Amino acid sequence: MRPTGGPAPHRIRSTALSVALLLAVAAASTLLGAGTAHAAGYRYWSFWEGNGKNWEYATQGPSLVRPDDGTVQGFRFAVSQDSKDAAQPRRAPDFGAICAGTPAEDGRKRVALVIDPGTAADAPGGETPPALRTACAQVGPDASSAEALASVAKPLRYSSDALLCAISGYPAAGCGDEVSGDGGEKSPAASSPASSDAGEGDSGDGGDGGPSAGLLVGIGAVLLLGIAAVFRARRRR
């Protein structure tokens, strides 16, 4: 005869099952949070092309693009995860306004440039961004965007994989550095936002802050444990 005054066995099993499932969900949530909050993005110079009215993120780096006469191009230094959330230059792509004082010359082309070092919030620790400026580069007809930029904004600094690291010496150090979610610095990423060429904005595998393969395996293991607890409880009934 079952003693009176205590909980029924099926209620005990039901409570234990609920606790196991709650623990599994909580553990999975914790793992997901740990995997997505570790990185806020990368600090780098992004490369833009003007379409007459607005800015469009360049699909190639400045060393590959050979702009036509009358082109407007922009460079913006900021922290962003990828091309989808990259900050645009804070000046309209207006060729007429930028190159108004530079007359056309035979055998030369004019490329209007907007060079925007960004805000203090995006600057590396201990550095102050210089003022935004524009320039009208007058270069040979076959010159690339990188050559046009070099003609008006030296010194430029590049990484070994052709990532544009600094314009006019800013920033003084670092190149495509990963910035953690709490604002702290991390070591330069092996796959930087523009590792394919200077100015390309994709951050590579894992650069968008998504969960890694190891994290997903851990979440799967936690959920499997919870499911196993369900089956054990059912078999005991």
| pLDDT, averaged in runs of 10, over the chain (237 residues) | 52 51 50 52 97 94 96 97 92 97 97 98 96 98 98 96 96 94 51 42 39 50 54 57
From residue 55, give the alpha-carbon distance in Å to each of 36, 71, 79, 176, 180: 29, 12, 18, 22, 28
DSSP label at 228? H
| Phi, psi dihedral angles at 87 (to 5 degrees) | -75, 135
Integer Cα distance of 177 and 186 in angstroms: 7
Would you say 26 and 18 are in contact if contact means Cβ atoms under 8 Å apart? no
Integer Cα distance of 19 and 1 in angstroms: 28
Domain check: are 30 and 108 in the same one? no
pLDDT of res. 192: 42
Domain check: are 141 and 232 in the same one? no
Domain check: are 68 and 21 in the same one? no
Domain check: are 48 and 111 in the same one? yes
Domain check: are 50 and 96 in the same one? yes
Domain check: are 32 and 49 in the same one? no
- The amino acid sitting at 121 is A
Domain check: are 25 and 62 in the same one? no
Instruction: Assess if residue 220 is contained within a domain.
Output: yes
pLDDT of res. 9: 53
pLDDT of res. 180: 80
pLDDT of res. 37: 47
| Phi, psi dihedral angles at 124 (to 5 degrees) | -65, 155
Integer Cα distance of 218 and 67 in angstroms: 49
- Domain hosting 221: range is 9-36+212-236
Would you say 114 and 106 are in contact if contact means Cβ atoms under 8 Å apart? no
Number of domains in the chain: 2
Instruction: Assess if residue 2 is contained within a domain.
Output: no
Domain check: are 92 and 129 in the same one? yes
Instruction: Assess if residue 196 is contained within a domain.
Output: no
